[in-house]
Structure 1
Amino acid sequence: MIFNFDDEMLTASALFFTVINLSISSSPTVTFNALVKAEKDAANYPSLAINNYFNYKNQLNNLPKSIELRWHTAAIRAALNSSQLTFAEEIFSDMKHSYDMAVKHKIGFYYNLTGIWFRKSGYNQQALKAYQCALETTTNIAKQTKYLNNAAIAARYIKNTKLAKTYFSQAIMLLKKTPNKILEASISNNLGMLALSQNDFILAKKKFSHALYLKERVSRTASQLTTALNLLNTLIFMENISLSEKISLKIDKLFTKTSSTDKKIYYHWLQFSLDKLKNKHASISEKTLIQEFYFLKGSSYIALIEQRAAYLNIELPQPSHSTQAKKYKGPVLHYLKNCKLQN
């Protein structure tokens, strides 16, 4: 038997299912569950968190401001973790109203979040101020440790090594009072970065290895990948081919679970360097590496690749998005308006 549906019946049917889908997606329970998932995915699976954000973005104005704020925050965290800095800036702009209405007692968290955007965007002096402002808002040891660690990173990027070491020392002292493996891993990775910037490869290897060991035990996939890449970079500088090949296998597995454009470009440079070290024909050309350099977003990756390019005697162009001599004047400053330390 053949059933014939006319156009009106088909249209009505399509409309019915559209209404059903919209009602399900706009259900408070479904929306909240999606938010919780986005918040969890922001660290290790940022692309999933961002997709979730776009699925519910048009409904955000109809939600309580505290929930809207959480949605924007999850999306910013995901954008920062995938080096989508322009997108993060757009969300900061969209988030102003819900932030002003609902931020309440989490102002230190948003100073810190703002600092992360400044640092990744290359506005390191403003990043340092944001972290210092965050420090002023809390007596919680875990939060102080996190903010000190971040302030140390910013201090390193403005080449104030003495201040960076002071902040790291203070963070380590607090960590002894309240042990936290995630923060310990982060501090160890950042101490490795400091050592790497000073060409102290032995210390860098020690710190990155310890950080990776800790991160493997708390299942932070994206963070593991970052540290594994840094360790590989160090091992190549040390011309340790066997360990470089071993860590490369781990990196390949991590890339199947999480990724970012900046990390892929970083890895391409490291693979090229390892091939050169092994006197092997490189699988990627020097010309391609230079072209990829233009697509880097995060200032930390730019600095790492500039260091490696100098080692390889590869001349790099000055990135058009360099911000080292600039001061930011856009919408993200809104979140520092109550910071008394702000210049």
Structure 2
Amino acid sequence: MKRIQSGTLRALSNKEEYFETTDLQRSIRQGYASLLSGEIEMPTPFDMGALIGPILNEGTESEFRAELTRRIRRFIHNRHPPLNVDVETVERHLIRRLLRTRKGQTTLSGIGVESSGSSQDWLQGIAPWRAVRDAQKEHSSVLASLGDNTRADIPKNILSHSMASVCGTLSLVPSADISELRSALGPVRTVSERHTQRIVKYLHEHTDWVHKHKSLLGREAPRSILRQRYRAVGMTLLAIWPLKEAIRKWMEDNPTTHLRYAMGQIVRSGQYPSAINDTLARISLIGSGTDGRSAPAGPSGLVTWWQHSA
């Protein structure tokens, strides 16, 4: 009782609860009030931090821990844009590194794994809009044939964050197990481990997009490979990543309009100048997708790239 009365926190009943004196509560609250009101200047880098809460601490320690964990997870899953770094700079650096790794690897013949094909001709002669449209049609058809439980766990649109992340990343790596795939996702394309497993399982078991193989020797985890004919959509999803939400919204707002015209209308709207420039920078990095064709220059070049095949 002396420690409680003196204002020290004292754990009781197997740390299920603790007590605070009125003076200690006032002191803590006054400290937060001074910091959050601007009376006391917040030191760097905490002056750029985000606030989560309020989180009430009126129950047991386990209840407080559970609520704190829930709030932090929600904050992380909301993917708030960072304040001290350009997301696209980080993402292009990671994509460049994955491209270099892929360029230095080869596939053995005669083991049932498709050749990765030309690194520059990833569109394989089809227009980007067609790659997205055809993949979405196939995806929607597969979802319609599944039960409610499986369908509920898979995003309806391939432009969703998790689908675009997994398919786009698999188009950059020759093969990967779940751990390697999540490492290659990086902070921008990140998806939880459980959801990554769910997406890969769906692509392998219910579609023909992903091939899985496991070594006959040892205990290595199964490795996933995006089939070559779907690399066009995977790379396209990476290229248009900065505009994927705009394209997705356009598709929802214009269900009967041809997807071919989406990019032109988005560019002419004038609402996404930064995302358009970031998309152009990505295509400049990964290539136009057609051998011998240079990357598009400017918004009009982006529209031409989106609409035309080789």
Please indicate, yes or no, whether the TM-score normalized by the shorter chain is above 0.5. no
> TM-score scaled to structure 1, two decimals?
0.26
Q: Which has the larger helix fraction? A: 1
> TM-score scaled to structure 2, two decimals?
0.28
- Greater Rg, structure 1 or structure 2? 2
Give the number of the structure with larger relative contact order, counting CA–CA contacts within 8 Å between residues 6 or more apart: 2
